[in-house]
């Protein structure tokens, strides 16, 4: 059986990602405490909802930090993949947390809308400004890493949505201060929650696909099979599995029937051809091929194990 690890990729240094996460955690703890105190003193539900979201940010950032550290640990006899999927699991947990928080906020917003309360808007304005600055800085710290890492993307989305929520709270505070429109507090809370659900669902769906070993959306198995079968020495490709281990690794496993009873050295040359083909055309960087000649087994592309 041929097994090949092909083509390395460059990524952000894990220590840098870890440092940026720690800074973001500290900032969000400060923001959360300030907003809880301010929300209780001012009576603003949107400020308290923003504080709750910030608290979920703290939890999600801690989860992301732990996953970031675990993902760098070496594989072992008991853990042959190491903790490479830790960051995907963290992304799934964080996305689920976003949705749960959002549902709670919608419930509270509806209750408050039915019973609007006078709110100390000055405190709301100042604390929302603090949150915007703190979360804005955290967003900048994590933006680059979020482009290539699902775990960092989940943390980035938490912070980005919280910054946007703080902007909404600031607008609400200004409307309450100068126009006495106090019901806007509930409306903004509802809008923030809906946005959280949209962002959280997309990330939940993407991380779920990876955890369930689904074939990435960007890959069509039939096209890959046709391309590999286009190699002269290959008769048939069957029993195919393609899955994504994490952001960095896409794996392909397949059985290949050869037209002739080739030598091991010939197979090795063909394996390299297959390796280059699937990497260059489909981004697959780990392949595991079982060579066969005249074997009587199911020749379906997908075999029900």
Question: pLDDT, tens digit, for every residue of 128-160?
Answer: 899 899 989 989 988 888 877 777 887 887 788
213 pLDDT higher than 80: yes
Which CATH number does 221-292 carry?
A: 3.30.70.1350
Predicted TM-score of the model (pTM): 0.74
pLDDT at res. 293: 94
In this predicted model, what pLDDT tens digit does every residue of 110-127 receive, in sequence order? 887 887 766 777 888 898
Output 80 or 292, whichever has higher pLDDT: 292
CATH class name, domain 2-211: mainly alpha
Domain boundaries, the chain: 2-211, 221-292
pLDDT, position 66? 85
Helix 86-114 and helix 184-211, axial crossing angle in degrees, nearest 10? 160
The mean pLDDT value for 235-255 works out to: 92
- State what percent of residues in the chain have pLDDT above 90: 29
What single string gives the DSSP state of each residue in 180-247?
--TTHHHHHHHHHHHHHHHHHHHHHHHHHHHHTTPPPTT--HHHHHHHHHTSTTEEEEEEEEEEE-SS
Question: Do 2-211 and 221-292 agree at the fold level?
Answer: no
């Amino acid at each position: 059986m041929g097994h090949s690890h092909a083509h390395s990729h460059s990524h952000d240094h894990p220590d840098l990602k870890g440092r940026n996460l720690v800074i973001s955690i500290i900032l969000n703890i400060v923001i959360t405490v300030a907003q809880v105190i301010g929300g209780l003193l001012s009576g603003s539900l949107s400020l308290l909802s923003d504080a709750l979201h910030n608290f979920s940010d703290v939890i999600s950032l801690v989860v992301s930090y732990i996953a970031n550290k675990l993902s760098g640990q070496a594989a072992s006899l008991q853990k042959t993949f190491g903790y490479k999927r830790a960051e995907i699991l963290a992304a799934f947990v964080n996305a689920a947390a976003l949705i749960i928080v959002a549902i709670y906020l919608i419930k509270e917003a509806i209750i408050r809308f039915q019973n609007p309360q006078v709110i100390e808007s000055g405190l709301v304005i100042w604390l929302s400004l603090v949150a915007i600055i703190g979360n804005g800085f955290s967003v900048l710290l994590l933006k680059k890493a979020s482009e290539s890492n699902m775990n960092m993307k989940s943390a980035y989305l938490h912070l980005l949505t919280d910054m946007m929520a703080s902007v909404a709270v600031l607008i609400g505070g200004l409307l309450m201060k100068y126009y006495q429109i106090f019901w806007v507090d509930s409306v903004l809370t509802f809008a923030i929650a809906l946005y959280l659900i949209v962002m959280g669902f997309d990330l939940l769906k993407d991380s779920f696909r990876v955890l369930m070993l689904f074939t990435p959306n960007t890959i069509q198995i039939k096209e890959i099979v046709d391309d590999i079968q286009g190699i002269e020495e290959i008769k048939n490709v069957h029993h195919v599995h393609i899955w994504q281990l994490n952001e960095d690794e896409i794996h392909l496993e397949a059985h290949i029937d050869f037209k002739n009873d080739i030598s091991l050295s010939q197979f090795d040359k063909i394996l390299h051809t297959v390796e280059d083909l699937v990497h260059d055309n489909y981004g697959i960087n780990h392949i595991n091929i079982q060579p066969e000649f005249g074997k009587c087994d199911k020749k379906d592309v997908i075999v029900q194990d």
